Amino acid sequence: MPYQDIIPANPNINDLLTQIRKYYRKEDIDMVRLAYDFAAKAHAGQTRKSGEPYIIHPVATAMILAHMRIDPNIIVAALLHDVPEDTSVTLGEIEKNFGPDIASIIKGITKLGKLKYRGVERYIENLRKMFVAMAEDIRVMIIKFADRVHNLATIDALPPKKRYRIALESLEIYAPIANRLGIGEFKSLLEDLSFPHIYPKEYEKTKSLRDTLISQREAYLHNVMEIIKNELKNSGIKVLNVHGREKALYSLYQKIIRKGGWEHTDKIHDVVAIRIIVEDLADCYAALGIIHKLWRPLKGGIKDYISQPKPNGYKSLHTTVFCIDGQIVEFQIRDKTMHNEAEYGIAAHWHYDERGARLPAKDIFWAKELANIQKNVLEKLSDLNELKIDFFKNRIFVFTPQGDVIDLPEDATPIDFAYNIHTDIGNHCNGAKVNDQLVSLDTPLKSGDVVEIFTDKNRKGPSPDWIKNVKTHLAKSHIKEKLKTEKNTWLKNILPKK
């Protein structure tokens, strides 16, 4: 959803209270009001670079999160998140007034400080802090995302160089982290708000294309939605919502590049997809059957992310069909839980329902584990580009023959897969099968592939050529280490003994 549809210009406490009254209990609303009064007093007299009162920023940050129907403690922490760092009020005073949980969240945000690019080494140290904070309490990152979204939305008050730096960091670091945590809402906002500051010409061209395609198909898609709503209703399927989903601008731009450039935009069929939200899992598949009964699917156009979710937990059924008059339309089908998790990812665990009750928290061990793994990777990194490839690139999920899921960066090879399983398997890797077909070791893997590795115990170690083919920092570091050991052994054997 575009930023301007979520947050009014210069939001105030009344805007925030109007939003949260829809789902908060009275005592929660009172706590939010108290937090606002506390923050407003602490920030009194402070202004932003634009000259606006500083309090607008924490209110906007809280409103972005309120739009996600998030836990009251996160809203309160968002209102107070800059108080200890930018005012004379201490963390102890916040704990005394608002309790240890809220103080703990704000401590995590304060610990991060203001991440600034000051050369690669310093920057990686800051990223390490971010991952440590994420491992300790994922809510810290959720507030940090909202904070960054508002900063991007009001970035025009900054000098051009600073605008570019903040936008680039948001596009290359923050948006991919949001993606890994499954928070589609933040990923799209961060990307689309950064896009015009990094690639202004491409932004205008993409926006113009999307606006044209949407206006051309508006009446057509409305007709398709009415037909499918009636068909689903007549089949006894409870439909919670049917709506058109516009593709985010940066996502559309990336797809244009992947499809071969601007002259191939006719290959893009999901500029507006039709999203169907149903009651439960069984209804998802029933709805898919009804769509296919009405219209013929494209070959290879069905993607079942329910039985095989994406690595970030995304679940949905996608199908692309030849619709009325042979026009191509994409449908996305999911139930309410899948929809909340697709939009809000890990943040859905702090989502409140219409009765003002928090939904049951699910196991978020994977997110903490992710943060711990990345913290350990960061400790060994000195090259930001390696970090971007390992963590920030699009991910694929492939399977061992036993059905275990291995999470790798896009275009990873069987060698990356082998080292991901075990160093010895990587070092002695001699061949690979993908989906029961023998392939070369430099073959790029795709999501859903089943990979089998063959090893040769007589193999001395990796080939030096492998360095050019692997994508993961893990594989590269093990190959370099093994080659270095072999070289040292060889030198030791040929040099005269003293």
Report the helix count and the strand count for the chain, using DSSP H and E.
23, 10
Phi, psi of 361 (to 5 degrees): -70, 135
**Angle 172-387-114 from CA coordinates, rounded to 5°:** 55
Three-state helix/strand/coil letters over 122-148: HHHHHHHHHHHHHHHCHHHHHHHHHHH
Residue found by looking up tokens 């007034």 in the block: 97
Residue 86 annotated in active site: yes
Query: Which residue type does 263 have?
Result: E
What lies within 8 Å, CB to CB, of 479 at 6+ separation is: 419, 426, 462, 466, 467, 470
Q: Which two tokens stand for residue 227?
A: 């037909």
> b or e along 458-496 (b: 16 or more beta carbons within 10 Å of the residue's beta carbon)?
eeebbeeebeebbbbbbbbbbbeebbeeeeeeeeeeeee
CA distance 48 to 465: 53
Q: Which DSSP symbol is given to 497?
A: P
CA distance 431 to 359: 48
Contact in structure between 273 and 330 (CB atoms under 8 Å):
yes
Q: Which two tokens stand for residue 6?
A: 């979520």
Rg for the chain, CA atoms, rounded: 25
Q: Which of 30, 37, 85, 204 is catalytic?
A: 85
Q: Which of 52, 86, 172, 407 is catalytic?
A: 86
Q: Which two tokens stand for residue 105?
A: 């969240």
Residue 191 annotated in active site: no
**Which amino acids are annotated catalytic?**
85-86
